[in-house]
Amino acid sequence: MTTLKIGTRGSPLALAQAYETRKRLMKAHDIAEDKIEIKVISTEGDRIQDKALRDFGGKGLFTKEIEQALLDGSIDLAVHSMKDVQTQLIDELRITAHLPREDVRDGFISRSVSNIDALPQGAVVGTSSLRRQAQVKKRRPDLDVVTFRGSVQTRLEKLERGEVAATFLAVAGLRRLGLLGELTASIETDVMLPAVAQGAIGIECRTGDERVEPLVAVLNDKETEICVTAERAFLRKLDGSCRTPIAALAEIEGDQLRFRGEILAHNGERSFFDDRKGSIDAATEIGIESAQSLIEKAGPEFLASLVE
């Protein structure tokens, strides 16, 4: 077999996800490790480290260069954190498989207190996520929330230096990096609803690639695909961007799909929430209906204020 080339970002977490994909491909198809090359591709999002990404164009910043490598044939498949993937892909590319989803929860990390409610009045909290910023301000409007960028390791180092009293990281990322020991507490989803597709890994291929698509398709986890499909339909309907505090979670409960969605003002002072159930076979429709419900509850003025 000719070598498969996997494209990925170069962060430790992105590499861990690429190694996981390689391991699953090796096991599924009895492929030798030296037949699957991991190719690191620098993205604009990785190169911008000192500014908020929402000022530079949003989600595509972490995928654009990797997708270009797919299109020009220099890689055969791409491994992404699905929360970084734009909701509309061009026809030439498709998400062929979703790996089984990890823990969807946000993690609270502090060296001084056990949870967000225990933080002292006016404490400084760091996060690069507008969603987390809004959710924190909703729960604790007294806190000083600052933009906090960099890899998982970089953010942990900033915490150790005392730049902030606490930060938030996805539990899934900490687990994949073997850093669960850094976690102070996992935040239940009824307290902090996660980002769309948090904890999910997607594998992107060229549409109609008769060599690669069949190899990748067997890795697909159907439950993850259903839930991520609903969440991404919700985000697409809301036209969500990095400027919009949006949270969503779909979960399979028996033969039903439970969907929760939330949109928030940047300062957390106003928020709108939807909780519904429907058929597993109607994942896209459930996500769209939830988004439409929030649009009607919030009204056009509120939604317009989120993207200014």
Q: Which long-range contacts (CB under 8 A, 24 or more apart) does 120-126 make?
A: 120/165, 123/165, 123/166, 124/163, 124/164, 124/165, 125/164, 125/165, 125/166, 125/167, 125/168, 126/155, 126/158, 126/159, 126/163, 126/164, 126/166, 126/167
169 in a structural domain: yes
Q: What is the CATH number of the domain that holds 142?
A: 3.40.190.10
Give the pTM: 0.92
**Among 34, 76, 84, 255, which one carries the catalytic annotation?**
84
In this structure, the answer to whether residues 51 and 182 fall within a common structural domain is no
167 in a structural domain: yes
In this structure, the answer to whether residues 143 and 163 fall within a common structural domain is yes
In this structure, the answer to whether residues 94 and 8 fall within a common structural domain is yes
CB within 8 A of 25, min separation 6: which ones? 4, 31, 36, 215, 216, 219
In this structure, the answer to whether residues 159 and 275 fall within a common structural domain is no
In this structure, the answer to whether residues 136 and 169 fall within a common structural domain is yes
Give me the number of domains the chain comprises. Answer: 3
Q: What is the CATH number of the domain that holds 284?
A: 3.30.160.40
Domain holding 64, by residue range, is 4-99+199-220
In this structure, the answer to whether residues 133 and 183 fall within a common structural domain is yes
Q: What is the pLDDT of residue 62?
A: 72
Q: pLDDT per position in the chain (308 positions), as tens?
A: 678 999 999 999 999 999 999 999 999 999 999 999 999 998 776 655 555 545 445 556 778 899 999 999 999 999 999 998 999 999 999 999 999 999 999 999 999 999 999 999 999 999 989 999 999 999 999 999 998 877 888 888 999 999 999 999 999 999 999 999 999 999 999 999 999 999 999 999 999 999 999 999 999 999 999 999 999 999 999 976 557 899 999 999 999 999 999 999 999 999 999 999 999 999 999 999 999 999 999 987 887 777 65
Distance of CA 6 to the CA centre of its chain: 20
245 in a structural domain: yes
Q: What is the pLDDT of residue 1?
A: 63
Q: Tell me whether residue 25 is exposed, middle or buried, using C-beta atoms within 10 angstroms of its C-beta: 0 to 12, 13 to 18, 19 or more.
A: buried
In this structure, the answer to whether residues 243 and 294 fall within a common structural domain is yes
Q: Using DSSP bridges, classify how beta strands 246-253 and 256-264 pair: parallel, antiparallel or unpaired.
A: antiparallel
In this structure, the answer to whether residues 74 and 110 fall within a common structural domain is no
Considering only CA atoms, which of 2, 35, 21, 27 is closest in space to residue 77?
Answer: 21
**DSSP structure string for 104-162:** --EEEEESS-SSGGGSPTT-EEE-S-HHHHHHHHHH-TTSEEE---S-HHHHHHHHHTT
In this structure, the answer to whether residues 91 and 112 fall within a common structural domain is no
255 belongs to the catalytic site:
no
Residue whose structure tokens are 């699905």: 82
Q: Using DSSP bridges, classify how beta strands 166-170 and 256-264 pair: parallel, antiparallel or unpaired.
A: unpaired
